[in-house]
Each structure stands twice: as structure tokens, then as C-alpha cells.
Structure 1
């Protein structure tokens, strides 16, 4: 009989016993957070993000442009600054959402990580004082962009942290090691 340590029986075939599979962590562990990238929930997040980008662009090119023409100089400066911040935030969030392209095989994981590394997913805090000076429609878009940013930040945290299953697999099992040594000692008699 093969050793408990190497997980095989006498003829060298892998031992499928629960003890053998518990002892050594699998090299192909499932990262559940990464599987979320291919999930319907992530697809909905992606669609929400892209819809917000399109809605914001339409607002800034149409209704927002018309509204900004009627603003006082101080309010216009706040409008310009807030619309630029909103556009930048949405571009960064859309770039992060490119991870969907990885999940669908359209982009390499390394490329997506490199691009995501350029993004501060937390971003700057809201400027409520300036938001009070701009049209309500722009404030609503800003609020939605921060909500989207929060959802993405939660997913990013889940993706960047090792799962409990991975952590459990990385820790040596002291008891299994002791049992393996005892087994080897008796097998060699």
C-alpha cells in the first residue's frame, strides 16, 4: 500500500479516500470570487455601468449642456468640475469592468490586471458643497456613479482577498502530518 503522504495505493493509482484529498491542497482550487466575473450578477453590474456611461454622455451632451448655459459663473465652475470628475470616475469604472472581457475570453487576465492596477477604485470623496450648486439631474448621475463605485469596490475586495478555502488549503495540517508519520513507521516494519 502506498503511503498516506503521497496519496496513492500499492499500484500507484491515486487514493480517492477523503483523508488523502484533505491532506494536500489542490493545485486547481476554485476561486469563487473570480467565478463571479462570469456570473449573471456581474453581467448585470457590467450592464448597469455601461448604461450609466451612456446616460451620462447623453446628459452632458444634451440637457446638461443646455442647463449649464443658464448657470452663474460660480455654479458653472462647479458644474464643469463635477462633470469632469463624473466622467473620469465613469471611465475608470468602465475600465475596471473590462474584467468581463476576461471572463468571456476576449482579453488576457494579465492585461486586465495591468489596466485595473492603474485605477483607484476608491476614488475621491463626494464634494457635497459643489453638488449643491449643480443641476439635480447631474447630482443624480453623480450619486449613481458612487453607488456603482461602491458595488465594484466590494467585488474588487472579494477578488483581491484569498478565500477561506484557499487559506485553509495553504495551512499545513499538523494532525495529518503526524498520522502520516505513524503510518509510514508501521508500514516500514
Structure 2
């Protein structure tokens, strides 16, 4: 760390450097590939597997599928915003304002929850991967934007969360 004039410090944030460089592409690809993999699974093999579960397992599968979908939508939104910033389509301040709508705190049921071991292995693998990716993205977000989880998630949500996500995706894809 080097001291600059007026008491400012000049530090290199590795996560920020990663997001705003070519090394971001593998992370972006991993996230988007996971979104596609989950969608294909839930619409195909997962749908068939869910029909064979007990009532407890089927209820847990439905709840976890919703959590998984929400988590992946949030991760994809964050990745799209960072890509827009990386390509110059959005400024860092615009990204920071839009990313305030992104929640990187979607949890999953504990693995000792009744019915967890009944869930298909492929589904549990996708859930685990999404949780690891969310944790990585959250750490990077904290390092880049300097917000702690407690500061970020205290504000109550207003409006329609689905509508907010659609607007966020439109903003990330908008070209000016």
C-alpha cells in the first residue's frame, strides 16, 4: 500500500482487478454454464426424478428448486453487471447503483433436513456448486465495492423482486 497526497491510499484490490480484466471470462462462463445446466436439469431429468420422491422429498425439492433458481438469477445478474462494466457499457457507479438490487444471500436447507438425502445426486451437486459460486461472487463483491453483508442486506425490499430482476437484466443488456 502506498500513501498518496491528502491521506488517500492506493491499494490493488485483486477481486476488482479480476473482474475488470480478461480473467473474468472464466468466472462469467462458469456462472452462465451453471445457469444453463440447472435449467436443463430442472426441465428434464430433475422433473422426472421429482415425481419419484416421497411427499417430504418432493416438498423439499420444490423449495430447493426455487432457492436454486433465485440464487442463480442473482449470480447471473451480478455477472452481467460486471461484464457490462468490464466492456465499458456501464460505469462503475452505474453498476454499483444497479447491483444494490442484487441479493447474494440465498441460502439452502441444511443437509440434515428431512428428505435431503432423498434428493437426486445431480440436483444436490448443482445446489452445492451454486452455493460455492455465490460465496465466491459475494466475497468478490465485498472486496470490490467495500460493503459488508450486514450493510447490504438490511434494507427491506420494495416493489416486485421478479420485476426488479427483469429490470436489472434489461439494464445489464442495454446498449446506449
Provide the TM-score with structure 1 as the length reference.
0.65
Q: Could you say if the C-alpha distance between residues 77 and 125 of structure 1 is closer, same or farther in structure 2, counting changes exceeding 3 Å?
A: closer
Structure 1 equivalent of residue 103 of structure 2: 120
Structure 1 equivalent of residue 119 of structure 2: 134
1:15-74 CA distances to partner (integer Å, 9 max, x unpaired)?
A: xxxxxxx762599x6764433222233221111000000000000011001111212222
Structure 1 equivalent of residue 65 of structure 2: 83
- Distance (Å, rounded) in 1 between the aligned partners of 2:79 and 2:4: 37
Structure 2 equivalent of residue 156 of structure 1: 141
RMSD value over aligned CA atoms? 2.7
Q: 1:59 pairs with 35, 41, 64, which one? A: 41
Structure 2 equivalent of residue 50 of structure 1: 32
Q: Choose 1 or 2 for highest CA Rg.
A: 1
> Structure 1 unaligned runs (5+)?
1-21, 163-189
1:51-110 CA distances to partner (integer Å, 9 max, x unpaired)?
A: 000000000011001111212222111111011100000000111112111111123434
- Distance (Å, rounded) in 1 between the aligned partners of 2:26 and 2:109: 25
Structure 1 equivalent of residue 50 of structure 2: 68
Task: Report the number of matched residues.
Answer: 142
